[in-house]
């Protein structure tokens, strides 16, 4: 983006404090962006220099100078800062944040400066696949000359949008995957751009809601509080925008309060003449009813990633793309080539006739249960881990469909074991290492089977995070199979 020196250096002379450098991009890119745009930078994190060395080295390699306060937080740093960048995982009632004058996030910094059209996606499960599918089609549309500019993808999918902000133009599209924490941090934030009336900082041209299920209840305590943060996604919309939501009770509650136009999707046609989409039982295709009443096919029956839940994700993506003006035939053809994404029912290896899948992003029991439904082959399921105050009864019920269950050690596995014992369902483990789990799974599997990691739990304890869990699972399977 071009502009005056003041536009290019909006933080010149400001004392900016990044709270939580982390290892996954958000804090790192906030630090880089603020320093590049004139801020005097301090970085503080409860982890020490050894743990954070990969991120610190990246900042140094980029020529960025910062003052580091590591292994602790000092309240005076928060009191003296003109601007504090909050990590989404920090609770808003933190005494350090209470001392701050102004609190932002990498997402709010991005939204305040982005000129591009925005598509925002949230949900409990499916948001990464849906976001990636939307971006996939928008990118292909530009390759075919249907749209100008470029398509970008960022947010909770582990890429901070600050990485591409400076190159954005009005003809570009940005797809943002947003977690409940990221959305909660945007509540009440208004745009500073002059406009007729106060406009919310987050105003997506299309807001897409995927499946809402119990998650992060160890943080929120109740579903209502969890979903309240997700509702921020559509609270700034108006009649020029569209809200795409499932036809269940949670989806209907989003549609009941949004000021955007409605598109609903599910496993049956929308009631009456409502516009929306559904998965057709007979053909297996995803169909959409347009405002004109015409019915078009937008998702093919055969996808590269298995499972009806993936078909619903791509249906939600297709509806948003239709509203953005892309032709139904082009959407269907493009979604038919969508390869899926890493860590979400990702096929990565075949050995001895056994297919191996990585579904580490299945961090709630419902997602692991859905993984068992996705395959038409016998499944040896590696599951379990750390509990997030969730109910494992759905996974225990689905477990009867598994050829064998292999449990990873953790508090969630202990809850699941109790239910499995009551139902008389056998299992292997729990195992305290990935290698032990892989070896046990290989003992149970034979040619024609699927071995899938789909934990249904958080990754804390054995792993750095869910992505570390997935990478270590793939490495062990490749080495041992």
Chain segment 372-429, per-residue pLDDT in tens? 988 989 999 999 999 989 999 999 999 999 999 999 999 999 999 999 999 999 999 9
CATH number at residue 77: 3.40.50.720
Q: Is the pLDDT of residue 195 over 80?
A: no
Cβ distance 211 to 126 under 8 Å?
yes
422 phi and psi angles, rounded to 5 deg: -60, -35
- Give Cα separations from 112 to 201, 202, 469 (angstroms): 7, 9, 34
Whether 185 and 263 share a structural domain: yes
Whether 49 and 166 share a structural domain: no
125 is in an annotated binding site: yes
Mean pLDDT, range 254-264, rounded to an integer: 96
Whether 122 and 66 share a structural domain: no
CA 34 to CA 15: how far, in whole Å? 10
Cβ distance 454 to 381 under 8 Å?
yes
Whether 202 and 221 share a structural domain: yes
Q: Is residue 190 part of a domain?
A: yes
Whether 409 and 448 share a structural domain: yes
CATH number at residue 315: 3.40.1190.10
124 is in an annotated binding site: yes
Q: Is the pLDDT of residue 92 over 50?
A: yes
| Segments in 375-433 forming alpha helices (H) | 393-398, 411-423
C-alpha torsion 203→121→387→47, nearest 10: -60
b/e burial code for range 356-385 (CB count within 10 A of at least 16 → b): bbbbbbbbbbbbbbbbbebbeebbbbbbbb
51 phi and psi angles, rounded to 5 deg: -65, -35
The least confident of 32-46, 190-204, 368-382, 387-401 is 190-204
Mean pLDDT, range 5-21, rounded to an integer: 82
CATH number at residue 352: 3.90.190.20
Cβ distance 363 to 215 under 8 Å?
yes
Q: Is the pLDDT of residue 6 over 50?
A: no
Arithmetic mean of pLDDT over the chain: 93
CB-count exposure of residue 51 (10 Å: 0-12, 13-18, 19+): middle
Final residue in a domain of this structure, among 274, 303, 335: 335
Strand partners, 103: 84
Whether 18 and 79 share a structural domain: yes
Whether 78 and 127 share a structural domain: no
Whether 252 and 330 share a structural domain: yes
Chain segment 307-317, per-residue pLDDT in tens? 888 999 999 99
20 is in an annotated binding site: no
CA 135 to CA 338: how far, in whole Å? 10
pLDDT at 307: 84
Q: Is residue 87 part of a domain?
A: yes
pLDDT at 352: 94
Angle, to 10 degrees, between the axis of helix 328-335 and the axis of helix 308-323? Answer: 150
Final residue in a domain of this structure, among 72, 104, 136: 104
Question: CA angle 209-359-219, nearest 5°?
Answer: 55
Final residue in a domain of this structure, among 303, 335, 367: 335
Q: Is residue 341 part of a domain?
A: no
CA 423 to CA 421: how far, in whole Å? 5
Whether 378 and 260 share a structural domain: no
% helix, strand, coil for the chain, step of 5:
35, 20, 40
Can you give the residue range of the structural domain that contains 359?
346-480
Domain count, the chain: 3
Q: Is residue 436 part of a domain?
A: yes
Mean pLDDT, range 319-339, rounded to an integer: 96
Cβ distance 296 to 110 under 8 Å?
no
Considering the chain, what percentage of its residues have pLDDT values greater than 90? 81
Whether 329 and 350 share a structural domain: no
Whether 121 and 259 share a structural domain: yes
Mean pLDDT, range 164-186, rounded to an integer: 96
Q: Is residue 340 part of a domain?
A: no
Q: Is residue 97 part of a domain?
A: yes
123 is in an annotated binding site: yes
Whether 366 and 392 share a structural domain: yes
108 is in an annotated binding site: no
- Which H or E run contains 390? none
pLDDT band with cut points at 50, 70 and 90 for residue 249: very high
Q: Is the pLDDT of residue 2 over 60?
A: no
What are 7's two structure tokens? 């536009």
Residues 70, 72, 75, 76, CA torsion sign:
negative
């Amino acid at each position: 983006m071009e502009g005056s020196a003041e536009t290019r250096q909006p933080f010149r002379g400001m004392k900016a404090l990044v709270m939580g450098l982390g290892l996954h991009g958000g804090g790192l890119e906030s630090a880089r962006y603020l320093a590049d745009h004139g801020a005097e930078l301090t970085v503080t994190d409860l982890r020490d220099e050894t743990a954070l060395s990969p991120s610190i080295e990246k900042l140094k390699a980029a020529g960025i100078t910062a003052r580091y306060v590591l292994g602790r937080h000092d309240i005076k740093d928060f009191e003296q800062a003109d601007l504090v960048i909050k990590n989404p995982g920090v609770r808003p009632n933190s005494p350090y944040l209470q001392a701050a004058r102004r609190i932002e996030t990498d997402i709010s910094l991005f939204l305040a400066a982005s000129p591009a059209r925005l598509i925002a996606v949230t949900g409990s499960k499916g948001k990464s696949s849906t976001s990636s599918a939307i971006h996939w089609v928008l990118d292909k549309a530009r390759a075919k000359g249907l749209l100008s500019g470029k398509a970008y993808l960022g947010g909770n999918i582990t890429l901070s949008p600050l990485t591409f902000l400076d190159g954005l133009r009005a003809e570009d599209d940005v797809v943002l995957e947003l977690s409940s924490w990221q959305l909660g941090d945007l509540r009440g934030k208004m745009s500073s751009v002059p406009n007729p009336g106060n406009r919310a900082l987050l105003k997506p041209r299309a807001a897409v809601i995927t499946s809402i299920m119990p998650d992060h209840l160890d943080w929120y305590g109740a579903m209502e509080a969890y979903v309240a943060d997700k509702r921020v996604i559509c609270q700034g919309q108006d009649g020029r925008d569209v809200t795409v939501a499932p036809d269940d009770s949670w989806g209907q509650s989003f549609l009941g309060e949004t000021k955007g136009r409605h598109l609903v999707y599910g496993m049956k046609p929308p009631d009456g003449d409502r516009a929306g989409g559904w998965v057709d039982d007979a053909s297996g295709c995803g169909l959409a009813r347009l405002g004109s009443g015409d019915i078009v096919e937008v998702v093919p029956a055969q996808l590269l990633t298995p499972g009806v839940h993936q078909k619903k994700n791509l249906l939600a993506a297709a509806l948003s793309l239709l509203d953005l003006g892309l032709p139904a035939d082009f959407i269907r053809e493009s979604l038919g080539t969508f390869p899926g994404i890493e860590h979400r029912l990702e096929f990565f290896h075949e050995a001895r006739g056994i297919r191996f899948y990585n579904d580490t992003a299945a961090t709630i029991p419902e997602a692991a249960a859905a993984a068992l439904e996705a395959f038409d082959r016998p499944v040896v399921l590696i599951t379990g881990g750390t509990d997030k105050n969730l109910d494992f009864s759905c996974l225990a019920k689905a477990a009867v469909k598994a050829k064998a269950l292999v449990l990873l050690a953790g508090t969630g596995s202990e809850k699941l074991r109790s239910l499995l014992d009551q139902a008389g369902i056998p299992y292997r483990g729990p195992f305290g290492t990935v290698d032990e789990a892989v070896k046990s799974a290989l003992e149970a599997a034979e040619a024609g089977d699927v071995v899938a990691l789909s934990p249904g739990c958080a990754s804390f304890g054995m792993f750095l995070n869910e992505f570390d869990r997935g990478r270590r699972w793939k490495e062990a399977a490749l080495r041992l199979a």
